[in-house]
Amino acid sequence: MIAADVLQHIGDTLEARKESSPSSSYVASLFHKGEDAILKKVAEEAAEVLMASKDKDRLHLVREVADLWFHTMVLLAHHGLRPEDVLVELKRREGISGLDEKAARNPQS
């Protein structure tokens, strides 16, 4: 299974869990708790990524990044977005200097 297929499968699963009973799964309960709970998990997982990196534990780092990616996909699903939306944006940026891409962004209101 290629990476995009894995992300699409996870996106499909997350979408299905949005309408599930909060008692049916961890993800369903997280959706039920709302955006603040999801944001808290994303922040928690981001901090754990930083600590795993500082510890120089490669396996721990990979596992924590997986947790962070997963929870950011939950956040995307909360907003009606899918992993494919991020892949399209990454593809759009391919071959563009990071400095040029950042300079071209519209200021956020």
In a domain, 70, yes or no: yes
Please indicate, yes or no, if residue 11 is contained in any of the structural domains: yes
Boundaries of domain holding 45: 3-81
According to the model, what pLDDT value does residue 1 have?
Answer: 55
Confidence (pLDDT) at 105? 75
SS (H, E, C) the chain: CCHHHHHHHHHHHHHHHHCCCCCCCHHHHHHHHCHHHHHHHHHHHHHHHHHHHHCCCHHHHHHHHHHHHHHHHHHHHHCCCCHHHHHHHHHHHCCCCHHHHHHHCCCCC
Q: In the prediction, which pLDDT does 103 show?
A: 79
Count of domains in the chain? Answer: 1
Q: Quick check: is 104 in a domain?
A: no
- Residues lower than pLDDT 50 in the chain: 109
pTM: 0.85
CATH for 16? 1.10.287.1080
